[in-house]
Amino acid sequence: MHPHGDDALRDSLRASVVDGDVFFVSAPSAVDGNVWSGLGALLRWVSESLPELRVVVDLTYVGCVDRPIDLDLDVPAVAVVLGSSSKPFGVYYHRIGALWSRDPIASLYGNLWFKNLFSLELGRRLLTGFGPTELPRRHRALQAAAVRRAFEAGDLPADAAASDVLMLAFARLDRCPESLAPYRRVRTGEGGVLRFCLSPAIDAALVREDASR
């Protein structure tokens, strides 16, 4: 998601892409943790206007949004789609992922033999035991409370809001405070887009809930 809009992103790609380039894009956006409605149109435009560009779509926050997301990835520009269970479930070293590629990726071939069966079974049970929107719907109130407490403590700017992705908040600032400027995900003049991680606050709230039972 380009800070100046979809047209600016297309102009930037058109001016800089050379044959063999690979463009990575995340859905939802890793810039601010929000669903980007323009992704489908961008992928179709790349297929038609920049056929030499290969796109990798990273579904990095799959399972972290409380509503279904309609993504049409069956377009020529999309060369690879990948995702991981690490964001919705954590599970650290036992997280599993998935990757679809139009062409074989030789460096991944060894995964056919060298794999952790426990991790695969744990991942299978997590993915089949929880629906794709179940956990974010269950914990959405904790996200809102975490944003509110962080703002009251002075840890978030006044313009901060909960992202579509459960464990994130974001702010789009016309003028970014000097203390936060190094953390801008995207710069727009004196302002920019900031992304904040709420995982520690949400984890602490879950611990408090468990302790009170």
Residue 112 lies in a domain: yes
| CA atoms of 72 and 60, how far apart (whole Å) | 16
Q: What residues have CB less than 8 Å from 39, skipping those under 6 apart? A: 25, 27, 71
* Last residue within a domain, chosen from 73, 96, 129: 129
Write the CA distances from 201 to 2, 42, 100, 140, 198, integer angstroms: 29, 35, 34, 13, 5
* 101, 129, 157 - which closes a domain: 129
Are 77 and 49 in the same domain?
Answer: yes
Asked if residue 105 and residue 16 are part of one domain, the reply reads yes
CATH of the domain at 20: 3.40.640.10
Per-residue pLDDT of the chain (213 residues; tens, 9 = 90+): 444 467 888 888 999 999 889 999 999 999 999 998 889 999 999 999 999 999 999 998 989 999 999 889 999 999 999 998 888 888 888 888 899 999 999 999 888 888 899 999 999 999 999 999 999 999 999 999 999 999 999 888 888 999 999 999 999 888 777 788 788 887 776 678 889 999 999 988 888 877 777
pTM metric for this prediction: 0.87
Do 138 and 119 share a structural domain? Answer: no
Give the whole-angstrom CA distance, residue 83 versus residue 96. 9
Give the domain range for residue 189: 134-212
